[in-house]
Amino acid sequence: MMLDVLIVCAIGFVVAAYVYYYETKLEKDPSYRTIFDISEHISSAKHLGNKKMRLKPYIKNMVPMTIFLVLMMIFALLGYTYAAFGLALVMTFGTIFKQYNIVTKAKTFCIVCNTFFLVVYILLYLTYQHIA
């Protein structure tokens, strides 16, 4: 069984759920800060609170959470490794786009975002290992 992929998917879901929670808190209270807001250049609020960085206001971070759930169901229930690798590849392209936006527009280091990006890259590697 591909328990390693399921664990990484669960971690990714938790991180994405935290980002969703954090974004909704920032909408209600723009001065809300967490332990991850260390300075002006290392700040999750500066990136996640920026409305220009989002795809659409109502999407927020539901798309990555949904993809992680679909990946977990694909691996756990059906065992389709090639489909899961394809979804991980799509997520990786989206991650590269988001990282480019963070570096060029926000010019900050977002600890939560980079944790999520790391989870996506690990997921791509693990799904590739299962099809190779």
Q: Which range is least confidently modeled, 8-22, 27-41, 111-125?
A: 27-41
In a domain, 38, yes or no: no
Does some domain include residue 80?
yes
Query: Looking at the domain assignment, is residue 42 inside a domain?
Result: no
In a domain, 40, yes or no: no
Q: Please indicate, yes or no, if residue 81 is contained in any of the structural domains.
A: yes
- Residue 111 CB-density burial (10 A; 0-12 exposed, 13-18 middle, 19+ buried): middle
pLDDT in tens, 17-67: 888 888 788 778 878 787 777 877 777 766 666 666 555 555 566 677 778
What pLDDT sits at residue 125? 92
d(CA 22, CA 3): 29
pLDDT tens digits along 61-83: 667 777 887 887 787 677 778 88
Where in the sequence is the domain holding 7, given as residue range(s)?
A: 3-28+47-52+60-131
Q: Read out DSSP for 1-59?
A: --HHHHHHHHHHHHHHHHHHHHHHHHHH-TT---TT--SSSS-HHHHHT-GGGSS-TTT
In a domain, 111, yes or no: yes
Torsion sign across C-alpha atoms 113, 114, 115, 120: positive
- For the chain, the domain total comes to 1
Residue 75 in any domain: the answer is yes
